[in-house]
Amino acid sequence: MERSFAKEVALLKKGAGEVFEGEGILAITKALLQAGVSYVGGYQGAPVSHLMDVLADAKEILDELGIHFEPAANEAAAAAMLAASINYPMRGAAVWKSTVGTNVASDALSNLASAGVVGGALIVVGEDYGEGASIIQERTHAFAMKSTMWLMDPRPDHSRFVDLIEKGFELSEASNTPVIVEFRIRACHMHGRFIAKDNRKPSLSRNHPIESPSFDPGRICLPPHTYVQEKQKVEKRLPAALEFIRREKLNEVFAGTQNDVGIILQGGLYNTVLRALAQLGLADSFGTTPIPIYCLNVTYPLVPDELTAFCSGKRAVLVVEEGNPDYLEQAINALLRKADLQTTVVGKAVLPMAGEYTASVVLEGLARFLEGAVPKGLDLAAVGAAVERVRAAKEKAAGLLGAPVPKRPPGFCTGCPERPVFSAIKLVERELGKVHISADIGCHTFSTLEPFYLGNSVLGYGLGLSSSAGIAPSFGKRVVSVMGDGGFWHNGLTSGVTGAVFNDQDSVLVIMNNGYTSATGQQSIPSSTADGRKPRTTIETALMMMGIPWVKTVRTYSVGKMVKALKEAMTTTEKGLKVIVATAECQLARQRRLKPQIAKQLAAGKRVVRTRFGVDDEVCTGDHSCIRLSGCPSLTVKDNPDPLRQDPVAHVNNDCVGCGLCGEVADAAVLCPSFFRAEIVQNARLLDRALWHIRSRFIEVLQGNDAAAPAPAAAE
């Protein structure tokens, strides 16, 4: 995994009255344990990947409590685990990144929501929205409304969202309905504290097994039961949910002194709004503000009487709702008009229709709202002056920079084993011409960016091959699909590969087998082999079982062999799907494993050899084709040492991990002989030093230089 929480999981053992202090992800995990959860399933994905990692590291604690934790093959499998709560009073939780994860889980969730639950069912989703998001910009809100599941958006405060997770289970049980709790990436990783409670052992678990099965035909999603279930959603479950939300005060009202205006906001945006109010001089460091705030920790369903009570007597309210469409603004308008309240509702008129609501964005919107509402006794001149101060500070910062900050798009890591594959594709295109490439979700999606610009479409995780189905028969040459090993096991095998075999698709599939679901932090998958793990199956075995005869496994860093395999796949007369399994371990995971080992060896005085690559300044012509075909962050340029040549030369900096791609590309492309490979020996032995002197002397003779070579450094 990207990060180990082995030390931090000790915090999960804290009992009643003790202070828990740590990251949001740890607090969420602690809340699940305090709530008496029986089982947790999930699929990794930002911003809740670390929640999966914490649970994996907390195996000892989970075993003691009898909690079952299962990393699922995909989000649909995780959602299907919640079926246990349909028939039995077991609290269960499922975890994944939304909205793409929710889309994958939609079949199971629709059935779960229709059948209803007797045990609390909580779905923890990472609301990956805004400029820091790694996915398409959508919201979970629409799905909650569509399937009639309750949606919580907790105020970012450790005490509050820990309490709301337990209340979420209670809400689910009180209304027999699954509950979604969404956490933004900042809430997941912010630090805070709260007073802990004892962890609760679930009444039903693997330590306390179910004695006999429960059968209720009314919970099967088939007619006529589905008709009854739909009526229960409206006639029974919704009223029960509204009563619980109202009684337990899940939403919060922060009363202010200004009685003619107010702010209604999603709970997750509370801190941002308070920060903006503070910048305007309308809030102190403790969150006290004269502007009344109605904080919606439950954004669906809205509680009509709470809403009307807050808006009654106010001329205008500002709705701070991130994303589009404006579900809350529309619903609030409808509820107020039904109650015959004429309070003006302002939202997207002063705030952006789409995009992340940062403090700067909210500050501008708040100022515009206040200037239009003209609250009694409020000094609008001071508000305007505060906005101008912020604008002036931003302009000053821009002036100090002197120019816009260069864009820094994401890219492959140094030494990434996937980069060589796209270098090989670029080389193949020189001979065979441009090819259509169906890309996929994962690290390899970076191939669509510079310097490769390879990948014509991205449709979903593990769907690279499926998205070739429409274009492949109509293209003048074979198309190439790309899929990661994580995507292969998530969805690619059952959809893309199965469909291509069944429909006799004549195309090429490249599977990036780097050993992990790397883009989410190097979590293990069925074919992982790291740390001595023996996989129960391999990608090649699965492909063979699907009846695919044309399968070649190629080491990714062997660019020449990869070029040869790609050419053969593109030009062979053999019909059907042709698969190249591009294999090499994720370089980040490899370095995380090797660096502690090397440090230990050096401390023990053992001999350590590291490989580095470099460029001979005198040989390099400054063509830079190596950079265009590699794109490695460690491959850059520097001034030419020859005063008669103007073009800068290629240069390998100290970030080099010795993967050898630059040299492989230079060799495969027949670019130039300027690359060299060097071995750096630390804790050198007598033989190493003797060989160094012999080689140095031999080079001096060849160069006609009799000057004595400097001895190697003592540390080498």
Give the model's pLDDT for residue 713. Answer: 54
Structure tokens at 138: 């959508």
Whether residue 410 has a cis bond before it, omega within 30° of 0:
no
Structure tokens at 305: 């009487």
| Residue 543 contacts residue 550 (beta carbons within 8 Å) | no
Cα(711)–Cα(195) distance, integer angstroms: 62
298 shares a domain with 218 = no
622 shares a domain with 544 = no
Contacts of 472 (CB under 8 A, 6+ apart): 478, 479, 505, 506, 507
| Residue 65 contacts residue 58 (beta carbons within 8 Å) | no
303 vs 587: which has the higher pLDDT: 303
Tokens 């075909």, residue located? 629
Distances (CA, A) of 226 to 28, 30, 172, 513: 34, 36, 19, 43
Cα(302)–Cα(328) distance, integer angstroms: 9
- Asked if the model's pLDDT at residue 712 lies above 60, the reply is no
| Residue 273 contacts residue 364 (beta carbons within 8 Å) | no
Cα(241)–Cα(234) distance, integer angstroms: 10
395 shares a domain with 423 = no
Contacts of 50 (CB under 8 A, 6+ apart): 2, 3, 5, 23, 25, 188, 189, 521
Neighbours of 393 (CB within 10 A): 10
Percent of the chain with pLDDT over 70: 95
Asked if residue 709 belongs to a domain, the reply is no
Where are any strands of DSSP class E within 410-520?
437-439, 457-458, 480-484, 508-513
Asked if residue 410 belongs to a domain, the reply is no
Asked if residue 214 belongs to a domain, the reply is yes
241 shares a domain with 258 = no
74 shares a domain with 20 = yes
Asked if residue 2 belongs to a domain, the reply is no
Distances (CA, A) of 672 to 125, 428, 615, 617, 624: 51, 18, 10, 12, 10
Q: How confident is the model at residue 19 (pLDDT cuts 50, 70, 90)?
A: very high
Structure tokens at 471: 């274009």
Q: Strand 92-98 and strand 121-127: pairing?
A: parallel
Asked if residue 600 belongs to a domain, the reply is no
Q: How confident is the model at residue 715 (pLDDT cuts 50, 70, 90)?
A: very low
Averaged pLDDT for residues 288-305: 97
Give the model's pLDDT for residue 665. Answer: 64
Cα(112)–Cα(130) distance, integer angstroms: 29
Question: Which region among 82-86, 135-139, 660-664, 712-716 has the lowest average model confidence (pLDDT)?
Answer: 712-716
Q: Is the dihedral of CA 139, 142, 147, 152 positive or negative?
A: positive
Q: How far is CA 597 from the centre of its chain?
A: 29
Give the model's pLDDT for residue 705. Answer: 61
Amino acid at 669: A
**What's the CA angle centered on 60, arms 55 and 62, to 5 degrees?**
55
Percent of the chain with pLDDT over 90: 61
Give the model's pLDDT for residue 396. Answer: 87
Structure tokens at 575: 């019909």
Q: How confident is the model at residue 671 (pLDDT cuts 50, 70, 90)?
A: low
Contacts of 435 (CB under 8 A, 6+ apart): 425, 428, 429, 477, 478, 479, 480, 570
Give the model's pLDDT for residue 716. Answer: 43
Give the model's pLDDT for residue 113. Answer: 97
Tokens 């639950």, residue located? 117
Neighbours of 566 (CB within 10 A): 26
Asked if residue 408 belongs to a domain, the reply is no
Question: Which region among 251-265, 415-429, 648-662 has the lowest average model confidence (pLDDT)?
Answer: 648-662
Nearest partner of 632 among 609, 594, 658, 603, judged by Cα: 658
Cα(260)–Cα(291) distance, integer angstroms: 9
Give the model's pLDDT for residue 476. Answer: 86
Cα(97)–Cα(42) distance, integer angstroms: 9
CATH at residue 355 = 3.40.50.920
Averaged pLDDT for residues 601-621: 85
Give the model's pLDDT for residue 680. Answer: 86
Tokens 């399937």, residue located? 147
650 shares a domain with 583 = no
Cα(134)–Cα(517) distance, integer angstroms: 15
CATH at residue 475 = 3.40.50.970
615 shares a domain with 629 = yes
- Asked if the model's pLDDT at residue 599 lies above 80, the reply is yes
| Residue 96 contacts residue 48 (beta carbons within 8 Å) | yes
**What's the CA angle centered on 296, arms 292 and 298, to 5 degrees?**
160
Radius of gyration of the chain (CA): 30
Q: How far is CA 33 from the centre of its chain?
A: 24
Cα(177)–Cα(169) distance, integer angstroms: 10
Query: What's 12's DSSP letter?
Result: G
Which of these three, 370, 401, 432, is where a domain ends?
A: 401
Give the model's pLDDT for residue 466. Answer: 93
| pTM as predicted | 0.88
Task: Please write the tens of the pLDDT for every residue from 38-80.
Answer: 999 999 887 788 888 899 899 999 999 999 999 998 999 999 9
Neighbours of 456 (CB within 10 A): 16
| Residue 44 contacts residue 523 (beta carbons within 8 Å) | yes
502 vs 654: which has the higher pLDDT: 502
**What's the CA angle centered on 246, arms 185 and 310, to 5 degrees?**
85
Cα(79)–Cα(110) distance, integer angstroms: 10
Question: Which region among 196-200, 237-241, 705-709 has the lowest average model confidence (pLDDT)?
Answer: 705-709
Which of these three, 367, 401, 435, is where a domain ends?
A: 401
Structure tokens at 480: 């190439």
Nearest partner of 454 among 467, 445, 441, 442, judged by Cα: 445
Task: Please write the tens of the pLDDT for every residue from 437-447.
Answer: 999 998 899 99
Tokens 């929501």, residue located? 113
513 shares a domain with 532 = yes
Give the model's pLDDT for residue 70. Answer: 93
Task: Please write the tens of the pLDDT for every residue from 529-574.
Answer: 766 667 778 999 999 999 999 999 999 989 889 999 999 999 999 9
Q: What's the length of the chain?
A: 716
Where are any strands of DSSP class E within 457-540?
457-458, 480-484, 508-513
Averaged pLDDT for residues 242-260: 95
Asked if residue 708 belongs to a domain, the reply is no
311 shares a domain with 446 = no
386 shares a domain with 311 = yes
Amino acid at 620: C
Structure tokens at 365: 């919107």
| Residue 474 contacts residue 536 (beta carbons within 8 Å) | no
Cα(74)–Cα(93) distance, integer angstroms: 15
Residue range(s) defining the domain that contains residue 337: 252-401
- Asked if the model's pLDDT at residue 182 lies above 90, the reply is yes
- Asked if the model's pLDDT at residue 625 lies above 80, the reply is no
- Asked if the model's pLDDT at residue 326 lies above 60, the reply is yes
CATH at residue 649 = 3.30.70
Which of these three, 212, 247, 282, is where a domain ends?
A: 247
Nearest partner of 444 among 528, 523, 527, 518, judged by Cα: 518
| Residue 152 contacts residue 181 (beta carbons within 8 Å) | yes
- Asked if the model's pLDDT at residue 610 lies above 90, the reply is no
Q: Alpha-carbon dihedral of residues 193, 196, 201, 204, nearest 10 degrees? A: -60
Number of separate domains in the chain:
4
55 shares a domain with 181 = yes
Distances (CA, A) of 572 to 245, 497, 509, 582: 65, 20, 14, 19
Asked if residue 277 belongs to a domain, the reply is yes
148 shares a domain with 68 = yes
Task: Please write the tens of the pLDDT for every residue from 145-176.
Answer: 999 999 999 999 999 999 999 999 999 999 99
Task: Please write the tens of the pLDDT for every residue from 371-411.
Answer: 999 999 888 999 999 999 988 988 888 888 787 777 777 88
